[in-house]
Structure 1
């Protein structure tokens, strides 16, 4: 499965969920953005072109975002956040190798998606929109990390005195890793994921070497 295939197309999600018109328009614009980015870089796109591709008027666009960079920042924050999700309700035993595999696969999925859209992520991390993009991505991943750490503490995997700031530290570090990955030329996703996992606490659910 490709990185793109791991995230359902926005227009299909809108059609299946019976979303209100405003939200459907928003998702159509995200679809248009992803379609156009497959043809050329973010710097060459315009709001008018995005609206034509989406079949949405510019007033609707500006009701959500200031410009195409703001749309891209919001869209790619949501896409990375979706890939970061690990369904904790399905994890009965965090010591089970399958549980560790879920976290490993989530990290690889994020790295793989950034690799597939490296030019766009470079533009987002390296532009005037950088601060807003980093902040939004950090907040999204912090929420995931906070839920995970609380679960691990409840199940006795993480120490009971794990500070709440650990989730902030983890999310901020992961965003920095993704920014570095986007800016580099490395393409070995598995090796990159292993390097990141080596930085995590010993209690963090992880796969055994060579699995």
Structure 2
């Protein structure tokens, strides 16, 4: 195994274990990507450019990702995942429609972010070599969906025997919707979020009660 082939594992494991230097270089490269994407499309960016902007060397880059598309795939998966977060400890004192509103707000945030970065999302969703973007995004949103379903089961709203496959079904559907949203030109976030709400199971509380 070459040093270049071994480096990705070493750097990634270092970052995942919380090693400060690895985390810092990772953050610098993600920030460089986001800054450069404000100037031109993902397809026009090179690893050398990203490294110059971040102030790191190419070995450091390849210690984390195989190429710039893999970096974008991971960075944008994390951002959409973060937007999907609804802290369950904030839902305790809310009624079901209010709690449903929190999930609807997170959906609006995801739609808005995709709309603001359509060029990049089109590249990630549309490529035959998408660096596992769909799979990674589906996995991340399935984790969020699982937490949401647990909330509704605990409240006695969702059936206790909701099939475990439902969370991936829900996440996969949302990823497909986000891909279509990225590929289109619609910018009415609220109307789109309301339409998606109508696709949820009948037991899912609605924001309007």
Residue in 2 that maps onto 1:36 = 36
Cα distance, 1:155 vs structure 2 = 2.0
Residue in 2 that maps onto 1:12 = none
* C-alpha contact 2:30 2:75 (8 A) present in aligned 1: yes
Q: Distance in 2 between matches of 1:147 and 1:97?
A: 17
Residue in 2 that maps onto 1:68 = 68
* C-alpha contact 1:33 1:50 (8 A) present in aligned 2: yes
Residue in 2 that maps onto 1:9 = none
User: Is 2:162 the counterpart of 1:172?
Assistant: no
* C-alpha contact 1:103 1:205 (8 A) present in aligned 2: no
Residue in 2 that maps onto 1:133 = 133
Residue in 2 that maps onto 1:77 = 77
- SS of the equivalent of 2:175 reads helix
Residue in 2 that maps onto 1:163 = 163
Q: Distance in 2 between matches of 1:118 and 1:137?
A: 16
The runs of 5 or more residues in structure 1 that have no matched partner are 1-17
- Number of residues paired by the alignment? 192
The runs of 5 or more residues in structure 2 that have no matched partner are 1-17
TM-score, structure 1 as length reference? 0.87
Q: CA RMSD in A?
A: 1.5
* C-alpha contact 1:86 1:103 (8 A) present in aligned 2: yes
Q: Distance in 1 between matches of 2:149 and 2:112?
A: 24
TM-score, structure 2 as length reference? 0.88
**Structure with larger Rg:** 2
Q: Distance in 2 between matches of 1:108 and 1:163?
A: 26
Q: Distance in 2 between matches of 1:128 and 1:166?
A: 27
Q: Which whole-Å deviations, capped at 9, do the CAs of 1:35-64 have from their partners, x for residues lacking one?
A: 000000001000000000011111010011
Residue in 2 that maps onto 1:14 = none
